């Protein structure tokens, strides 16, 4: 039913558009034009101004011809991680890959292109549908900042589907972790490392002692933690009086998330205090976890649509966040659906050509299934 040739061509076109985080202006303008040409009412919010980007989230709405049907949200993000400039996609034996030393950008243009194609398909085939809301967000990478700063009054849908998962079409993510970012500064005291080291308090040593005693890595099935960035010291002959550490904790259980964050904070504080240093810690809750039941309305729709599209359905959980974390927090139940992207965030990123088509077909089946429901 979908136009495979058109979908693949549009995917290649979108991939070639540079869209690093907070610099999504060009692709946003193109997507606004495409959505308007399809009859959607399109607006752009002011999130770009709030986060220091050059454009906001693209918000679009298509009125349906079934007023009793639930309103559905279809969402994907526009930004891509580095290295993402001058990407040249190529098709090799059914796989789309980057021809150069860049990522491919299937994360998340493998969500955007199928959404556009599915809307064209239901219109060309005059498939009855309810209201459809589309959100193409900015700055998803590195903190979900587009969705995080979205004015929740813009959300009109009863439930939604976020196309942003490395699993294949048919994979349905029902649970995702929340994340805390810890910005830590340990302040010690400088002294000459050769002449009077005993007069100094080495902030780097205090940080290393703290890291050595805190739980890091895989904590349990739901919880992880990581030390991401360490910067400190001025010279080898100066006892380091300052070190900055950026780290994170994640968990699909909010209690475990709080506990892990507290343990990390306590380790930094206690080890600094033992050496006479001071630890200053800023904890930022980037997003909260969510869990949906397999028998929730949005989960059942995703499952039925997957089967109707001829896909093998698989429910699962993830260790990464997505815009769905915020949509769920805002009261719009959303699952995350796989698009088939492989090895995202690496220069080995790829996607099977057929998974693009299967994702678009899945979206069409979702819209058809929602149309059969009278309410939620």
Cα separation, 180 vs 192, whole angstroms: 37
- Burial class of residue 172, CB neighbours in 10 A (0-12, 13-18, 19+): buried
Q: Which of 10, 24, 79, 131 is catalytic?
A: 79
- Whether residue 83 has a cis bond before it, omega within 30° of 0: yes
Task: Name the token pair of 265.
Answer: 């904070």
Question: What's the distance, CA 224 to chain centroid?
Answer: 17
Q: Which of 140, 323, 349, 355 is catalytic?
A: 140
Cα separation, 136 vs 114, whole angstroms: 12
Query: Dihedrals φ, ψ of 65, to 5°?
Result: -110, 15
Q: Name residues whose C-beta falls within 8 Å of residue 39's C-beta, 6 or more positions apart in sequence.
A: 62, 123
- What is the phi-psi region of residue 217: left when phi exceeds 0, alpha when psi lies from -120 to 50, beta otherwise? left
Neighbour count for residue 141 (Cβ, 10 Å): 21
79 is catalytic: yes
Total residue count of the chain as it appears in this document? 376
Q: State the virtual CA torsion across 306, 343, 74, 8 in degrees, nearest 10.
A: -80
Cα separation, 14 vs 269, whole angstroms: 47
Q: Hunting for tokens 């209201």 — which residue is that?
A: 131
> Which 3 state secondary structure label does DSSP give 242?
strand
Active site residues: 79, 140
């Amino acid at each position: 039913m979908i136009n495979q040739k058109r979908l693949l061509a549009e995917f290649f076109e979108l991939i070639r558009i540079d869209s690093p985080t907070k610099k999504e202006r060009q692709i946003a303008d193109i997507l606004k034009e495409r959505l308007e040409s399809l009859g959607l009412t399109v607006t752009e919010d002011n999130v770009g101004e709030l986060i220091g980007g050059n454009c906001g989230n693209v918000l679009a709405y298509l009125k349906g011809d079934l007023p009793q049907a639930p309103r559905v949200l279809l969402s994907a993000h526009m930004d891509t991680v580095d290295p993402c400039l001058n990407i040249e996609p190529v098709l090799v034996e059914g796989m789309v890959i980057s021809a150069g030393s860049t990522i491919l950008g299937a994360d998340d243009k493998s969500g955007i292109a199928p959404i556009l194609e599915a809307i064209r398909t239901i219109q060309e085939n005059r498939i009855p549908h309810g209201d459809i809301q589309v959100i193409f967000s900015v700055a998803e990478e590195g903190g979900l900042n587009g969705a995080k700063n979205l004015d929740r009054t813009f959300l009109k849908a009863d439930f939604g589907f976020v196309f942003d998962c490395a699993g294949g079409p048919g994979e349905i993510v029902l649970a995702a972790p929340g994340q805390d970012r810890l910005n830590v500064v340990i302040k010690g005291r400088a002294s000459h490392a050769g002449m009077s080291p005993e007069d100094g308090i080495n902030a780097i040593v205090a940080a290393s002692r703290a890291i050595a005693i805190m739980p890091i890595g895989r904590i349990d099935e739901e919880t992880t933690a990581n030390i991401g960035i360490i910067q400190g010291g001025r010279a080898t002959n100066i006892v380091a009086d300052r070190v900055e550490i950026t780290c994170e904790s994640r968990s699909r259980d909010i209690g475990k998330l709080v506990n892990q964050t507290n343990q990390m904070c306590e380790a930094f504080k206690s080890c600094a205090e033992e050496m006479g240093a001071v630890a200053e810690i800023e904890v930022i809750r980037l997003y909260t976890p969510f869990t949906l039941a397999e028998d929730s309305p949005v989960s059942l729709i995703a499952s039925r649509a997957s089967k109707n599209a001829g896909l093998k359905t698989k429910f699962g959980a993830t260790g990464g966040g997505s815009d769905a974390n915020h949509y769920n927090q805002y009261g719009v139940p959303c699952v995350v659906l796989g698009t088939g992207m492989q090895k995202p965030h690496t220069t080995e990123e790829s996607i099977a050509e057929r998974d693009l088509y299967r994702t678009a077909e899945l979206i069409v089946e979702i819209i058809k299934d929602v149309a059969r429901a009278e309410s939620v």
